[in-house]
Amino acid sequence: MTHTRWLRTLIERLLAARLRRELRGLPTPAHLGLIMDGNRRWARSVGVDDIRFGHRAGAEHLDRVLTWCAQAGICAVSVYVLSADNIAKRDDAQVTFLFHLLETLILDRLRRPDGLWELHVAGNLDLVPDATARALKEAVDATRGRPRRLTLAVGYDPYGDVVDAVRQVLWEGADRGDSADDVARTLEPEAIDARVAAPDDDIDLIIRTSGERRLSGYFPWRSVRAELLFCDVYWPGFRELDLLRALRTYGRRARPARSRL
């Protein structure tokens, strides 16, 4: 380690220690949302033209960030991995590589015996290769019962999620013999809430890296009351210091406890 890098690391550790002290007594988000953006731009910023380098670095970094989240007392994390729109529009070779990283890197690390995170998946697995779908299901089984909850959005369609929930309400009403008018007159938000895709509870804070200022369809039903924080660093460069600063911002903004609906 060079002297400059050593000094930078020392300063970051001192700043992180100070931030942890500042966080004492502040509300902590029970449920954190992460939009991991900027992998390709990060690769170019460090002089690598192969975007696979950035995606691999980003996938590896998730494990590190989840450790920081656990240490900060966050009980649930939801991560946007690949939307249905991403799968449809991105280059086939790039999507294939992302599925490979999901199977062989992210899921392998989640399945470790000492892992803390119980895996849930939100999305249409019919859109992913059979091997990926099988790996996801196996990881869900392998991590069941762990103390913290991780939801990965894979093949997730934000419009379809809400539409499918409404369809379920209508179909269940029809099975009971209710008319469409009966269902419409009695429909309450709780009915939709119970039927949208995982995660099962509202997101308190959403962090998007790379400087982009949009949600890109990130769990619309669950993010309606979330605090939003847009971080200018690319995802592979997102530091524990950045997470702690985001948590401090959230703690200072946070309102009194809210109901889910």
Active site residues per annotation: 37, 86
pLDDT digits (tens, 9 = 90+) for 195-245: 999 888 999 999 999 999 999 999 999 999 999 999 999 999 999 999 999
Residue 257 pLDDT level (bands cut at 50, 70, 90) = very low
Is the pLDDT confidence value at 129 over 50?
A: yes
Torsion of CA 155, 157, 160, 161, to 10 degrees: 90
pLDDT recorded at residue 50: 94
> What whole-number distance in Å separates Cα of residue 86 and Cα of residue 83?
5
Residue 198, exposed/middle/buried by CB under 10 A (0-12, 13-18, 19+)?
middle
pLDDT recorded at residue 1: 59
Percent of the chain with pLDDT over 90: 90
pLDDT digits (tens, 9 = 90+) for 28-46: 999 999 999 999 999 999 9
Rg (CA), the chain: 20
Its pTM stands at 0.92
pLDDT recorded at residue 254: 83
Residue 260 pLDDT level (bands cut at 50, 70, 90) = very low
pLDDT recorded at residue 200: 86
Mean local confidence (pLDDT), 124-145: 96
| DSSP secondary structure, the chain, as one string | --HHHHHHHHHHHHHHHHHHHHHTTS---SEEEEE---HHHHHHHTT---HHHHHHHHHHHHHHHHHHHHHTT--EEEEEEEEHHHHHHS-HHHHHHHHHHIIIIIHHHHTSTT--EEEEEES-GGGS-HHHHHHHHHHHHHTTT-SEEEEEEEEE-HHHHHHHHHHHHHHHHHHHT--HHHHHHH--HHHHHTTSPSP-S--SEEEE-TT----TT--TTTTTT-EEEE-SS-GGG--HHHHHHHHHHHHHHPPSP----
pLDDT recorded at residue 259: 43
Is the pLDDT confidence value at 256 over 70?
A: no
Sequence-distant (≥ 6) Cβ neighbours of residue 9 within 8 angstroms: 1
Sequence-distant (≥ 6) Cβ neighbours of residue 214 within 8 angstroms: 208
pLDDT recorded at residue 255: 55
pLDDT digits (tens, 9 = 90+) for 103-122: 999 999 999 999 999 999 99
Percent of the chain with pLDDT over 70: 97
Beta bridge partners of 122: 153
